[in-house]
Amino acid sequence: MFRVPSVLAVAGTALALATATGTATATATATATATATATDGVGDRTACVTRTSLGVVSGTADAGLCVFRGIPYAAPPVGERRFRPPQPVSPWKGTLRAVDDARVCPQDRDVLTEDYPDDRKVYTDEDCLHLNVWTPRPDRAKRPVIVFVHGGAARYGTGNEPRYDGRRLAARGDAVVVSLNYRLGVLGWTELGGLDPSYRGSGNNGLRDQMTALRWVRRHVADFGGDPANVTVVGESAGAASISAMLATDHPERLFRRAVLQSGSGALVHTPAFERELAAAFPIRDIAALRTMPVADVLKVQEKAVAALPGAAGGALYFGPYVDGTLVRESVVKRVAAGNARGVDLLVGSDRDEVNFFGQFTPNGLSGLARQYDAFFPKELAARRERMTAVYRKGRTRREAALAMFTDQSVRIPALRLAEAQSRWRPTYVYQFDWAPPKGIGAVHTIELPFVFGTLRFRGVPGGDEALRTDRARLTTLSNQMVDAWTSFARTGDPAARRTISRPAWPPYRTPRRATMIWDLPPKVSDDPRGNERALWNGLAFDGTTL
């Protein structure tokens, strides 16, 4: 089991990585696309226009791309629809001007790690189930489609963050890029079925939101120049955990053809027992009162609930997808190993020093974080801990060894288990991001995001901005290499098929070789990196988060 530490308190973005998806669908099938340009009323800029079965949509022209921001993919989850599965969005009359880049699902601002589109301190608009599209042109070119699901502990963040701007991916990769919002915190991830059976499954509504957005993409992305039969979903942290959960739903290949999991896996999907513990800890027992409560008050109740549980359970891991037996059928690794996702190509990886990220929020920094690992280490491996620690201590200080074990247990090893399970069925690729700012605290959680998107915005990455100022040319090259790899994977299923910049070939991950791309200056391929440490975790089942 992936066990929650009893004392790891980290509020903010989340190594727990939970996010959400959707279940309801948009309406009708896509119709023929009409491509045109029209003035948008702001100076002499022009907006791109396309026609969908829901109505006409206009966006803006930006550096050779058409950008559509704030397109609704589901009905507003307000009033009687609060805590219910997402419902179909209604067609609109006239032209929808998709220029809204400020949609953020309800949350208190995370000032340390998220890259918000504005300076609001609290976000309270529940009408947030919107998505953004970047495309070279809304024609019928059938470009590969990349859909991004953001992280943030299923409690923070938005698809509208500037660091997730899809322009570089769309332009360099000739792809259609989509980012989306989904319900967060209590509103998207609290199981209320124990209070009222009609709300059974509400703990996965955030996941249903995401799945609804993916169905919207399959129906309408052709109107934006994308290929609905070639969709790659990309998730980071909580987003990756959510996509992992989708791999354990029925027929995930109907949602996407390929998946990229960055710093998250099925080990962070809640077990049924853990979800029951969280539901029992929720302080309000009256659903009617909760359904009509002002959003600001809901957020206050949410923070009290989070604070009531110890450590990571009260912060990073409180919210997220869970195995409900209906939508998410079983533990992700078991389901994938049995071939449930045999129609999905997979790319998965982690950052070398993932957990160091949380040292920014921990008393006494990295030293305090390393001490907390005692409560995190799995009881099942207690008899071999001394031997494991001795292996990790080679070339490391005691603190460095504890943090390396912490990262391996929480992110790297579960990702490798998932890759190994899927490699039996479909081409699977593994990476590790190793580059670290010279004056930072390592290759921490989220560090790969500025490179994957080509935005080079180092929010929450100590030393990142200074490194960019002093080494911009080499970091830009590394980013271009990763953009090429991600878009090549989206186009062909092979991240090395498109190598416009010199970098090594990237073989699929198969045992016993276990070829792994190491993203660094320069990148390299390593066979079974730190394999002796990987093998120490054999026998531990990473099949869900539990207390």
Provide the annotated active-site residues: 237, 354, 445
**β-pair partners for 258:** 232, 345
Which helix (H) or strand (E) segment is 296 a member of?
helix 295-308
DSSP-H helix ranges across 192-286: 205-220, 238-246, 272-281
Tokens 């195995």 label which residue?
323
For residues 180 and 163, give the distance between their C-alpha atoms in angstroms, rounded to a whole number: 14
Sign of the torsion angle spanned by Cα atoms 340, 412, 447, 322? positive
Sign of the torsion angle spanned by Cα atoms 346, 352, 357, 359? positive
**C-alpha dihedral, 260 to 356 to 105 to 307, nearest 10°:** 130
**Helix 398-407 vs helix 385-392: crossing angle, to nearest 10:** 110
CB 459 within 8 A of CB 12: no
Which phi and psi (to 5°) does residue 337 adopt? -60, -30
3-state helix, strand, coil split of the chain in percent (to 5) is: 35, 20, 45
Cis bond upstream, residue 197 (ω within 30): no
Pairing mode of beta strands 226-236, 258-262: parallel
For residues 83 and 95, give the distance between their C-alpha atoms in angstroms, rounded to a whole number: 30
**C-alpha dihedral, 246 to 321 to 83 to 5, nearest 10°:** -170
Long-range contacts: 62-66, Cβ < 8 Å, 24+? Answer: 62/167, 63/167, 63/171, 64/136, 64/171, 65/134, 65/135, 65/136, 65/167, 65/170, 65/171, 66/133, 66/134, 66/135, 66/136, 66/137, 66/138, 66/224
For residues 458 and 486, give the distance between their C-alpha atoms in angstroms, rounded to a whole number: 19
Pairing mode of beta strands 65-72, 143-149: unpaired
The tokens for 63 are 């550096």
Cis bond upstream, residue 438 (ω within 30): no
CB 340 within 8 A of CB 425: no
For residues 380 and 378, give the distance between their C-alpha atoms in angstroms, rounded to a whole number: 5
The tokens for 385 are 């801990």
CB 388 within 8 A of CB 15: no
